[in-house]
Amino acid sequence: MSFYDKDIVSIRDLDRKQIEEIIETAERMVPYALGEKRTKVLEGRILGNLFFEPSTRTRLSFESAAHRLGIDVIDVSEMSATSISKGETLADTIRMVDAYCDIIVLRHPHEGAARLAAKFSENPVINAGDGAGSHPTQTLLDLFTIKRAKGRIDGLNIVLVGDMKYGRTVHSLVDALAMFGANLTFVAPETLQMPADHVEHVKRRGADPKLTDKLEGAIRDADVLYVTRIQRERFPDPSEYNKVAGTYRIDNEMLREAKKDLVVLHPLPRVDEIDPEVDGTPHAKYFEQAFNGIPVRMALLYMILGGSGL
Ligand code: CP
């Protein structure tokens, strides 16, 4: 199956077999991601890392992944540092970066920006998060983490809690989990529940998600608890954010009724949804999850840029 020159705009662009191939390749990348093995397999290539919204994990792990493969990186982390601030369009900006690089990674505040970039770029574009739209590479590292922790994804009880409305990570993740036959529960305040089109989409893939605002009952049977931050920056009205802020907070007391091998994940950053006391428990896998961004993004760069021999 060839990934050569492929855009990764939405997780819906990939089928289950392709996702499994990425997960398998990422497993081979782990010793390189850890620095235990060295390679310059993609030396001479250039990655354009365009981040027009704040990021720690995605931006730095793409950069680290590129360096681990011998790829050079051009990094832009503010729109104001580009000629967009003079009125240049995103389309023209992408045309320029396309001329200077072999692959573009784009984070942008507007949903659909990565799809537009893919249209104007000859070289492949990877969506690193577009507004409240999607975040496909986060989903790939989430799946990789679940597979490593539980040995499978099929048939697991996966509870997603927090902001189902504006959280782009959950929008991408539920599509993929439905593809893998996981049992899904969405826990959110009524105003932040999963948008109907995503619910319909996962149903079309054969899932039968439960929607609730009660976390306590859902946690008992969960194999994976995927916690998300309420996305304050996406609320048109700050008073609406204040009504739902702090609705859910995972602490050790709450985890007492959970399965012993429950895995707690979070795409991070967290604000107050997971008490730091959980960090020291065997449930906490979210920092490992963040590290997994490196081997997964290495796998994507390697496959899309036509690497071989690793
Ligand atoms: N998970 C994630 O996308 O984190 P950053 O916003 O720090 O990249």
Mean predicted confidence (pLDDT) in 126-136: 95
CA of 292 to the centre of ligand 1 (A): 13
Taking CA atoms only, the protein residue closest to ligand 1 atom 5 is 55
**DSSP state at residue 233:** G
Q: Does residue 209 surpass a pLDDT of 80?
A: yes
**Residue labelled with tokens 């893919």:** 118
Q: Which of 166, 144, 126 lies closest to 265 in space, CA to CA?
A: 144
Q: Does residue 149 surpass a pLDDT of 80?
A: yes
Q: Does residue 104 surpass a pLDDT of 80?
A: yes
Quick count: other Cβ atoms within 10 Å of Cβ 194? 22
Give the Cα separation of 9 and 106 in Å (integer). 10
Mean predicted confidence (pLDDT) in 278-294: 98
Q: Among 49, 51, 53, 56, which residue has the most ligand 1 atoms within 8 Å of its CB, making it the best to mutate?
A: 56
Mean pLDDT of the residues in the chain: 96
In tens, the pLDDT along 152-166 reads: 999 999 999 999 999
In tens, the pLDDT along 30-58 reads: 999 999 999 999 999 999 999 999 999 99
**pLDDT tier at 86 (50, 70, 90 boundaries)?**
very high
Q: Which of 257, 253, 61, 288 lies closest to 159 in space, CA to CA?
A: 257
Give the Cα separation of 174 and 209 in Å (integer). 9
Report the sign of the C-alpha dihedral through residues 131, 181, 159, 300, in that order.
negative
Q: In which element (H, E) is residue 303 found? A: helix 293-304
Q: Among 49, 50, 51, 55, which residue has the most ligand 1 atoms within 8 Å of its CB, making it the best to mutate?
A: 55
Residue 223 near residue 259, CB atoms below 8 Å: yes
Strand partners, 250: 274
Angle at 208 between CA 206 and CA 209, to 5 degrees: 130
pLDDT of amino acid 1:
61
Quick count: other Cβ atoms within 10 Å of Cβ 14? 21
As for ligand 1, residues whose beta carbon falls within 6 Å of it are 55-58, 129, 138, 267-269
CA of 109 to the centre of ligand 1 (A): 13
Q: Residue 195: which residues within 8 A CB-CB, separation 6 or more? A: 164, 165, 171
- Which two tokens mark 295? 């081997």
The CA R_g of the chain, rounded to the nearest whole Å, is 19
Q: Among 268, 286, 288, 294, which residue has the most ligand 1 atoms within 8 Å of its CB, making it the best to mutate?
A: 268
CA of 240 to the centre of ligand 1 (A): 23
Q: Would you state the torsion angle of the CA atoms of residues 62, 129, 185, 219, taken in this order, to the nearest 10 degrees?
A: 50
In Å, how far are 4, 9, 27, 222, 274 from 262, measured between CA atoms? 37, 31, 22, 7, 14
Give the Cα separation of 55 and 43 in Å (integer). 26
**pLDDT tier at 78 (50, 70, 90 boundaries)?**
confident
Residue 101 near residue 74, CB atoms below 8 Å: yes
